[in-house]
Amino acid sequence: MMTRRLMNWAAAAAVALLGWTSTPSQAQEWRGWNIHPPDYPVSKGMDRFTELVAQRSNNRIRMKTFHSAQLGQQDEAIQQMRLGSIDFAEFNMSGLNNIVPSTQVLTLPFLFRSVAHQHTVVDGPIGDTVAEDLANAGIVPLAWYDAGARSMYTIRPVKVPADLRGMKIRVQTSDLWIDIIKALGANATPLPFGEVYTSLQSGVIDGAENNWPSYESTRHFEVAKYFATTEHSNVPEVLAVSSLRWRRLNQADKDMLRAAARESAQYQRQLWAERERVSREKVIAGGAQVTDITDRGPWQQLMEPVYKKYATDPRMADLVRRIRETP
């Protein structure tokens, strides 16, 4: 039987060993996943983050971001983050909807009133609640990035919801998104982001939905030139670290990483606003036909069954209420 003294010694040795494995002088190499090309606001935000971390850790934490989905598409990357083979990443909430239910709240259609409203929500206690749920699922959010409003783009013009009837619209892997598209009278086709261009070209799908910068950077406007400004969802994104990596850090490193991530988010948000304008101009110059939806009422009304299904559970209903009450 172990004596009390021996037990204390064993505990002390274990603590020392733990300390040793994360000794400050030990260099670490981190692999980061990003779906976007290097000049995209998300990518530049991530580059800023990794530079700040390198500086502030005296090059002890060295991060390399693999842009342009070099480490795989979103669903694989989410799995790899949870398994720890990817150390950090930037994710849109939609791809996490089926894994962490509270992310659905931030994806719900026509919920945020403005960019400022969204920032107040995600940077405050509601964002913290969703972040906690994500951390419990293996993905630890450090800061929220902007992704603007998502709109519909199709191979035939769309002015009112009825124009979408029967069309096949690409969505991310998310039951909520399947239901949103269904509620609009169209058919949802879940596909990886990287397959949308060729699927539009070959007629596998008739349209997709995204923000101006993604519509432009992917050149989807070449194959689906009708863009209707439905602005149906303002689903935000996170810069996050794998919880397997996170758990091995000391508090000082955690604080340093969080601060660097938040600073990178400020920068990303500035770049985002600018890129939305530039991308809109570029796609129009490239032949996109824009239909400005001035009355979103009919679109919004169709979302009633979606709210019934996703926002009536007491916890979800409470989060939705709190978001609406957030000034």
Pairing outcome for strands 139-145 and 237-242: antiparallel
Judged by beta carbon, residue 61 or residue 111, the one nearer ligand BDP is 111
Q: Which of residues 142-171 bind ligand BDP (CB under 6 A)?
A: 147
Residue among 202, 92, 192, 105 nearest 144 (CA): 92
Smallest gap from Cβ 83 to ligand BDP, in A, equals 20
Q: Which of residues 13-72 bind ligand BDP (CB under 6 A)?
A: 35
Q: Which residue in the set 92, 104, 189, 291 belongs to the binding site for ligand BDP (CB under 6 A)? A: 92
Whole-angstrom Cα distance, residue 89 to residue 224?
29
- The backbone torsions φ and ψ at residue 195, rounded to the nearest 5 degrees and listed phi first, read -105, 0
Judged by beta carbon, residue 195 or residue 313, the one nearer ligand BDP is 195
Q: Which of residues 99-128 bind ligand BDP (CB under 6 A)?
A: none
Question: By CB under 6 A, is residue 205 in contact with ligand BDP?
Answer: no
Encode burial over 111-141: b for 16+ CB neighbours within 10 A, e otherwise.
bbeebebbbbbbeeebbebbbebbbebbbbb
Question: By CB under 6 A, is residue 233 in contact with ligand BDP?
Answer: no
Judged by beta carbon, residue 74 or residue 268, the one nearer ligand BDP is 74
In terms of phi and psi (left: phi > 0; alpha: psi -120 to 50; beta: otherwise), the region of 92 is: beta
Q: Which residue in the set 65, 80, 211, 230 belongs to the binding site for ligand BDP (CB under 6 A)? A: 211
Smallest gap from Cβ 252 to ligand BDP, in A, equals 31
Of 57-65, 206-214, 264-272, 304-312, which part binds ligand BDP (CB under 6 A)?
Answer: 206-214
Q: Which residue in the set 172, 199, 234, 243 belongs to the binding site for ligand BDP (CB under 6 A)? A: 172
Judged by beta carbon, residue 163 or residue 237, the one nearer ligand BDP is 237
Q: Which of residues 70-89 bind ligand BDP (CB under 6 A)?
A: 74
State the DSSP code for 138.
T
Of 18-26, 210-218, 270-278, 302-310, which part binds ligand BDP (CB under 6 A)?
Answer: 210-218
Q: Which of residues 259-288 bind ligand BDP (CB under 6 A)?
A: none
**Strand 237-242's sheet: what is its strand order?**
61-66, 28-33, 88-92, 237-242, 139-145
- The backbone torsions φ and ψ at residue 286, rounded to the nearest 5 degrees and listed phi first, read -85, 5
Judged by beta carbon, residue 92 or residue 151, the one nearer ligand BDP is 92
Judged by beta carbon, residue 127 or residue 236, the one nearer ligand BDP is 236
The label of the residue with tokens 């609009």 reads: 184
Judged by beta carbon, residue 61 or residue 77, the one nearer ligand BDP is 77
Smallest gap from Cβ 141 to ligand BDP, in A, equals 14
Q: Which residue in the set 154, 210, 242, 243 belongs to the binding site for ligand BDP (CB under 6 A)? A: 210
Question: What would the 3-class secondary structure string for 44-82 be?
Answer: HHHHHHHHHHHHHCCCCEEEEEECCCCCCCHHHHHHHHH
Show the tokens assigned to 243.
Answer: 């919880």
Judged by beta carbon, residue 133 or residue 237, the one nearer ligand BDP is 237
Whole-angstrom Cα distance, residue 114 to residue 125?
18
State the DSSP code for 203.
T
Whole-angstrom Cα distance, residue 283 to residue 31?
33
**How many residues sit in the footprint of ligand BDP (CB under 6 A)?**
10
Question: By CB under 6 A, is residue 193 in contact with ligand BDP?
Answer: yes
Show the tokens assigned to 197.
Answer: 């261009």
Residues lying near ligand BDP in the complex (CB under 6 A) are found at: 35, 74, 92, 147, 172, 193, 210-211, 214, 237
